[in-house]
A and B are shown apart, each in its own frame.
Chain A
């Protein structure tokens, strides 16, 4: 035998019998909804805690000497250790290649005899332009924004990067005419 709970208060004439319970439930659901919402908000805020605002890493912009110091067709490795950048000068100008393999972020080595960057981790190979041609790397090396400061020094801005597969190597800044 099922027993129906009596309403919390007597129904007024003309009012549905379980109105008391229904309003009770709507208060309940409001409470639960706000409880859940506040929990979610607290969770999000705590997650945000894990993303620092200030980084103790080398600055993104750095000066890289005068363009005349670079030789045509030679990969300049002076800034590989300190700033993770290769400078390459070819006939028409200069570009700054990222030393981070687009596969999983190892640092490839420049093999001048074979004229390619070869990644030791999974064997990706890149031409001197940065274009990938072998191994698992899905896309070319990235280039960083390069410009000339007033004092004639090269300025590399690692905050702005250019990706070949998005057609960004054509944009101004990806390449310094020289």
Chain B
């Protein structure tokens, strides 16, 4: 038992968890005919349930999972995989129909028009009644959390943002607040709104399909499931005192020591590579960083337009193409910075604390 717990504790370390989840996402999409089927769901979801139930016997696991404010995240742990699985299953079914020339599931039903009263109105009524029962039951069983009265002098340890923002708080581990707290949220909003104008693929409008828009779906699912939901779960369950990582069966020890000594790119370049001191002039000191960042945003768009994104470039035209690639590069910068941190303890690519300009 203890060894299993230890293995799980090790596997849930951020670097391993995020890597494994990404692999799972892409592999399951590749073998979707096998993975997104009823059989898998009938095994997977009960197994998850049993796993949670057994884990409840572990004291540390129990403590973190039953915190009142964490209950919705436990729900999310099941709901989001379920609906992802469900929409992919529908997509696989529809794709099979397209292949064999039968009309789509939705298509078969579009011809029928039904009266809103009673068909829709009653569905809504039933949904409302069920939801009300659920909500009242939940409220009777679990009291809303209330801690001690606010005290500006004593920061609780750990102190966390509301759970839906824990993805952003996790980003703070890798980026400075101006990026993680302001620029990236802004880009997420702009990027989401830009989707309909960037994705000009006319197929897959109004029905489930994977084959006809696999690239869009994978990009969206990676962003939503890995870079948002998984980070929320990680921040809720696996970040403890001092924002250190704690495995699900690990005691939240306030004194757990973790080396947090990180190194800037300028240090790597001037001190470790060239063996000299860091130059005094800020611009010279950070010149490598500036080159890296500029190169990151300038070179890939040009290279991609000639290679794997050639079709995008031709279909979208330069303006939309460059906006798309810019947004994608911003999105990719988070996993890239994560990997750099895990492998090289890299703190800043450009580090100018004098002007609060750290990347």
Direct touching of A and B (C-beta under 8 Å): yes
The reply to whether B173 and A122 contact each other, CB–CB distance below 8 Å, is: yes
Smallest CB gap from A124: residue in B: B260
Contacts of B4 in A (CB 8 A): none
Determine, out of A60-68, A88-96, A130-138, A142-150, the stretch whose residues face the partner at the interface. Answer: A130-138
A-B contact pairs, 28 of them (CB 8 A): A80-B153, A99-B153, A104-B172, A104-B177, A106-B159, A107-B152, A107-B154, A108-B155, A109-B155, A109-B157, A118-B242, A119-B155, A119-B242, A120-B155, A120-B156, A121-B155, A121-B159, A121-B243, A122-B169, A123-B242, A123-B260, A125-B260, A134-B260, A136-B172, A136-B173, A136-B176, A165-B353, A166-B354
The reply to whether B243 and A122 contact each other, CB–CB distance below 8 Å, is: yes
Known contacts A80-B153, A81-B153, A134-B260, A121 near B176 by CB under 8 Å: no
Report the Cα distance A134→B261, complex, angstroms.
Answer: 5
B residues 321-359 with Cβ under 8 Å of A? 351, 353-354, 356, 358
Q: How far is the CB of A103 from chain B (nearest CB, A)?
A: 7
Contacts of A119 in B (CB 8 A): 155, 242
Contacts of B277 in A (CB 8 A): none
Report the Cα distance A165→B358, complex, angstroms.
Answer: 14
Report the Cα distance A120→B159, complex, angstroms.
Answer: 7
The reply to whether A123 and B243 contact each other, CB–CB distance below 8 Å, is: yes
Provide the main secondary structure of the chain B interface: loop
Report the Cα distance A81→B156, complex, angstroms.
Answer: 14
Q: How many A-B pairs with Cβ below 8 Å? A: 61
Contacts of B262 in A (CB 8 A): 134
Q: How far is the CB of A39 from chain B (nearest CB, A)?
A: 25
Does A161 have its Cβ within 8 Å of any Cβ on chain B?
Answer: no
The reply to whether B172 and A107 contact each other, CB–CB distance below 8 Å, is: no
Provide the main secondary structure of the chain A interface: loop
Contacts of A135 in B (CB 8 A): 260
Smallest CB gap from B259: residue in A: A134
Known contacts A123-B260, A133-B261, A138 near B356 by CB under 8 Å: yes
Chain A interface category by residue count: 20 to 34
**Residue of B155, B351, B354 contacting most chain A CB atoms (<10 Å):** B155
Q: Mark B240-278, 1 if CB is under 8 A from A, else 0.
A: 011110000000000000111110000000000000000
Contacts of A134 in B (CB 8 A): 259-262
Report the Cα distance A99→B154, complex, angstroms.
Answer: 11
Smallest CB gap from B151: residue in A: A81
Sorted nearest first, the 9 A-B pairs with minimum C-beta distance are A120-B157, A81-B153, A123-B242, A134-B260, A122-B243, A106-B155, A139-B353, A107-B155, A138-B353
Q: How far is the CB of B187 from chain A (nearest CB, A)?
A: 20
**Residue of B157, B351, B358 contacting most chain A CB atoms (<10 Å):** B157
The reply to whether A107 and B153 contact each other, CB–CB distance below 8 Å, is: yes
Does B158 have its Cβ within 8 Å of any Cβ on chain A?
Answer: yes
Q: How far is the CB of A3 from chain B (nearest CB, A)?
A: 36
Report the Cα distance A113→B353, complex, angstroms.
Answer: 29
Known contacts A125-B260, A136-B172, A120 near B177 by CB under 8 Å: no
Smallest CB gap from A134: residue in B: B260
**Residue of B153, B156, B261 contacting most chain A CB atoms (<10 Å):** B153
Q: Mark B304-325, 1 if CB is under 8 A from A, else 0.
A: 0000000000000000000000
Smallest CB gap from A101: residue in B: B155
Q: Pick the contact of A122 from B156, B172, B259, B351 — CB < 8 Å?
A: B172
Q: How far is the CB of B148 from chain A (nearest CB, A)?
A: 14
Contacts of A99 in B (CB 8 A): 153
Report the Cα distance A136→B176, complex, angstroms.
Answer: 8
Report the Cα distance A134→B243, complex, angstroms.
Answer: 13
Q: Pick the contact of A120 from B153, B173, B241, B260 — CB < 8 Å?
A: B241
Report the Cα distance A107→B169, complex, angstroms.
Answer: 17
Contacts of A125 in B (CB 8 A): 260
Q: How far is the CB of A172 from chain B (nearest CB, A)?
A: 21
Report the Cα distance A136→B241, complex, angstroms.
Answer: 15
Report the Cα distance A54→B156, complex, angstroms.
Answer: 30
Contacts of A133 in B (CB 8 A): 261
Contacts of A108 in B (CB 8 A): 155
Q: How far is the CB of A86 from chain B (nearest CB, A)?
A: 12
The reply to whether B157 and A103 contact each other, CB–CB distance below 8 Å, is: no
Contacts of B356 in A (CB 8 A): 138
